[in-house]
A and B are shown apart, each in its own frame.
Chain A
């Protein structure tokens, strides 16, 4: 019988400030928790996949393995898909386990996005997260890129500036039920509309948090963990990437993709086809939400709502707990935490938690099928993963 890979353990650090730890140290905290959750030991790990901080050493994954005491690995590497890595890495880890390359793969990321000495424009100028020569000199940094997407989105569908505000309100409602979330006080549509303008049309409460933190998970063979009933299957994984410069995203591919109609539809189609399910079958959706617009374009590209309709859909409560398809039940990057390199991993871990039935007050009843997405590089890189119980 062919080997089937499963997610068997997850771990997260606190999302409070962690200045006393190095980035590698934060990885150690998360990795240790994930391996323990799987009922394995570090000695069982023979594959390591790391999502490094933006300006890490090219040998960063080896440094992490040293810190964890994993001397011999048959696979040890980093990926550079930014926010889209959580799904893309799972695909690789699944292949590694199912092909026999590795027995137990540890995926980990950790970063001090908040207490780091270098941040904001320094990250841009030192690492070229976006283009340094034809974009950054004009004052374009991360929020303004998403402002460009949001402004065009509102224009395309004739919507008012507050159209996407319900996404922020729903995230906060769910964060209120998550003891680990950093922003738990309820907010209203009025609060979002009155929050300071960061870069039009995006206001502060439409922008994700900036935090320290780490996350990790273990991918192993079905039945190999200490708790097979808690193992989670990856029924489908899709990844799609397009371009980097905003002008090229605007031009698109001539086949329906452009700045606001992203290749997330390709990642979603692949994931749903592999899983043999449709949007209607989903019980919960954990959607990467670096900004309200980031979640909005994915929700529409994945076919959860029609074009231009996501704001109204969320405003009517359809993506609240108890609604048609609850989203970002942990509070997302908007209200739980955005700890940099592992930001999207928090969505994956929340998806696992929901499938395991371990989400406490925010548990979706009878949760059998979860969609988890991740995204990065404005509207360029995407992944979609469909999770279900493995046993």
Chain B
């Protein structure tokens, strides 16, 4: 059973395209200038419909995490233990992603992490985070 994958829609197409290109971009509101996660029609802070797509630095810190030991269903059976983490990006927003290449015992809240990419299919690349180089 394959791993569940995101569905791409009008609002999120540029996000997934930028992930595929390994140059992740988020929407920046041209009204209030805040970056937001996740892709959407309107700014979550001021409601403006105007935005551009801005590459991010890829630097962030771990806000919290949980190491999933019991697979949440058959699609994840071969992937556990996997680290689900909330990463607060240097640019402000907090996003969920897996931590990869970091031992469970090494993970700490507040530790710096760096953006990386996991090419899951030809179409879908998932942003993930790893230890900074």
Contact = CB atoms under 8 A, between A and B. Distances in A.
A136 B94 contact: no
A73 interface: no
B48 to A, nearest CB: 17
Interface stretch (A191-199, A310-318, A331-339): A191-199
A117 to B, nearest CB: 14
Contacts of B66: 144, 147-148, 150-151, 199-202
A246 B96 contact: yes
25 contacts: A121-B72, A121-B74, A134-B37, A134-B38, A136-B4, A137-B3, A137-B4, A137-B120, A138-B98, A139-B76, A140-B84, A143-B70, A147-B67, A148-B64, A149-B64, A151-B64, A151-B109, A152-B63, A197-B67, A198-B70, A245-B96, A247-B38, A247-B93, A248-B44, A251-B94
Nearest to B75: A121
A151 B62 CA distance: 11
Interface string B94-132: 111110000010000110000000001000001000000
B98 A250 contact: no
Contacts of A138: 82, 84, 96-98, 126
Given A121-B72, A134-B96, A198-B69, 14 more contacts: A121-B75, A133-B38, A134-B37, A135-B96, A139-B76, A139-B79, A141-B72, A148-B64, A151-B65, A151-B109, A200-B69, A245-B38, A247-B86, A250-B86
Interface string B1-37: 0011111000010000000000000000000000001
A139 B98 contact: yes
B41 interface: no
B76 A259 contact: no
Given A134-B38, A259-B64, A152 B69 contact: no
Interface in A51-79: none
B68 interface: yes
B64 A155 contact: yes
A246 B94 CA distance: 8
A199 B7 CA distance: 26
Interface residues of A, number: 39
B72 A120 contact: yes
Nearest to A258: B63
Interface string A103-135: 000000000000000001110110000011111
Given A139-B98, A151-B64, A133 B72 contact: no
A137 B93 contact: no
Candidate in B65, B67, B84, B120 with the most chain A CB atoms within 10 angstroms: B84
A328 to B, nearest CB: 24
Query: Size band of the B side of the interface?
Result: 35 or more
Contacts of A149: 64
A152 B73 contact: no
A247 B96 contact: yes
A143 B72 CA distance: 9
Interface in A195-218: 196-202
Nearest to A243: B44
B108 to A, nearest CB: 9
B53 to A, nearest CB: 16
Nearest to A201: B66
Q: Which 6 A-B pairs have the closest CB atoms?
A: A121-B73, A147-B66, A141-B72, A152-B64, A133-B6, A247-B94
Contacts of B7: 132-133
Most buried by A among B65, B72, B76, B80: B72
Given A152-B109, A246-B96, A199 B68 contact: yes
Contacts of B110: 155
Contacts of A202: 66
A247 B95 contact: yes
A81 to B, nearest CB: 21
A164 B40 CA distance: 37
A124 B72 contact: yes
B70 to A, nearest CB: 5
Contacts of A144: 66, 68, 72, 84
A120 B71 CA distance: 10
A378 B7 CA distance: 23
A250 B94 contact: yes
Contacts of A133: 6-7, 12, 38
A196 B7 CA distance: 34
A134 to B, nearest CB: 5
A199 B67 CA distance: 5
Given A121-B4, A140-B84, A247-B93, A148 B65 contact: yes
A139 B81 CA distance: 10
Contacts of B74: 121
Contacts of B64: 148-149, 151-152, 155, 250, 259
Nearest to B126: A137
